[in-house]
């Protein structure tokens, strides 16, 4: 049981427990790949579902690394398989544990914000950017930023740092000279000029504009006053019917057609209104020759009640 819940390996010739730096960098590269995919999906597409899944996976992986054993962390298992034929490079485990604790705190914050509370804001961007920077430096340059911070909070300095930076001074002649800096600056200038030229000669711009004929014309076209009145005036079919109304069904249909015959929007076509009964003619009770009251019913439903 004690061999399971351990951090690092105790090898002969090393004063502290160690980890294989090649496997650690490979695992960081795998995490960085999925992190940048989920981050760009949220940034460009607006979907945070991949980010939520990655945060859960990231937190589980780092929980196993710190509280169980790095040998059983999924990312390190896959990373160890990729570098199985390479010569191991052992580094100190204590500073790695401190650096991974920083990642665990960031992952816990993202779990609370993004997964549990669906918070979307600048704080998410800051935390994600911090995780990406840490993973990128670990993967691309072999620089453990958390290991650098480890020396600020511990009396004992870190041992067996990646590349021997803790013990070996910088190699002579490794600093960039004036010529090398000038080459890098010229390279950046060439890339900037090429980007401006590509943006000015984009062949897809004409294709996109031609694929939507009359788009600019439709944008600048304004509705005629009559059409605007159609959009803003109350609809006759939306008006509450009154039992004492004396307007016949034919007059209502004529008024409706005259009112909307100039409306160009098809979706404004009013629905069919069922006909209503015509009011009964007035009958004078003192006149015996007056016709009896009757109803001229034009609909198909039951006659109105008097």
The answer to the question of residue 174 being in a domain is no
3-state secondary structure of 224: coil
Summarised one tens digit per residue, pLDDT across range 84-93 is 999 988 888 8
In the prediction, which pLDDT does 268 show?
46
Q: 75 lies in which domain range?
A: 18-167
The answer to the question of residue 95 being in a domain is yes
The answer to the question of residue 255 being in a domain is no
Select the more confidently predicted residue: 251 or 160: 160
The answer to the question of residue 195 being in a domain is no
The answer to the question of residue 278 being in a domain is no
Structure token pair of residue 255: 């008024």
The answer to the question of residue 83 being in a domain is yes
In the prediction, which pLDDT does 244 show?
43
The answer to the question of residue 243 being in a domain is no
296 within 8 A of 277, measured Cβ to Cβ: yes
The answer to the question of residue 244 being in a domain is no
The model's confidence at residue 219, banded by pLDDT at 50, 70 and 90, is very low
Q: How many domains does the chain have?
A: 1
In the prediction, which pLDDT does 211 show?
64
- Whole-model pTM: value is 0.60
**What is the spatial distance between Cα 23 and Cα 21, in angstroms, rounded to a whole number?**
5
Summarised one tens digit per residue, pLDDT across range 6-32 is 888 888 888 888 889 899 999 999 999
Beta bridge partners of 18: 9, 92
């Amino acid at each position: 049981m004690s061999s399971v819940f351990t951090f690092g390996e105790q090898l002969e010739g090393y004063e502290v427990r160690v980890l294989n730096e090649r496997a650690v960098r490979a695992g960081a590269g795998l995490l960085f790949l999925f992190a940048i995919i989920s981050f760009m999906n949220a940034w460009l597409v607006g979907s945070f579902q991949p980010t939520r899944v990655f945060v859960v996976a990231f937190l589980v992986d780092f929980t196993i690394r710190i509280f169980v054993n790095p040998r059983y962390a999924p990312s390190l298992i896959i990373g160890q398989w990729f570098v199985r034929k390479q010569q191991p490079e052992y580094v100190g485990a204590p500073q790695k544990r401190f650096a991974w604790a920083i990642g665990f705190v960031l992952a816990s914050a993202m779990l609370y914000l993004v997964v549990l509370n669906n918070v979307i804001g600048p704080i998410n961007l800051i935390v994600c950017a911090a995780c990406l920077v840490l993973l990128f430096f670990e993967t691309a340059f072999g620089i453990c930023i958390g290991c650098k911070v480890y020396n600020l909070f511990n009396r004992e300095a870190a041992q067996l740092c990646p590349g021997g930076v803790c013990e070996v001074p910088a190699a002579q002649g490794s600093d960039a000279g004036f010529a090398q800096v000038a080459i890098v600056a010229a390279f950046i200038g060439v890339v900037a000029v090429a980007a401006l030229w590509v943006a000015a000669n984009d062949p897809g711009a004409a294709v996109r504009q031609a694929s939507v004929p009359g788009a600019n014309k439709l944008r600048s076209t304004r509705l005629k006053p009559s059409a605007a009145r159609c959009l803003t005036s109350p609809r006759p079919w939306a008006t509450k019917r009154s039992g004492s109304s004396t307007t016949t069904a034919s007059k209502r249909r004529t008024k409706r057609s005259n009112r909307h015959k100039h409306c160009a929007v098809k979706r404004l076509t009013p629905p069919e209104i069922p006909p209503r009964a015509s009011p009964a003619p007035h009958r004078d009770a003192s006149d015996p020759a007056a016709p009896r009251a009757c109803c001229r019913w034009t609909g198909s439903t039951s006659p109105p009640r008097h």
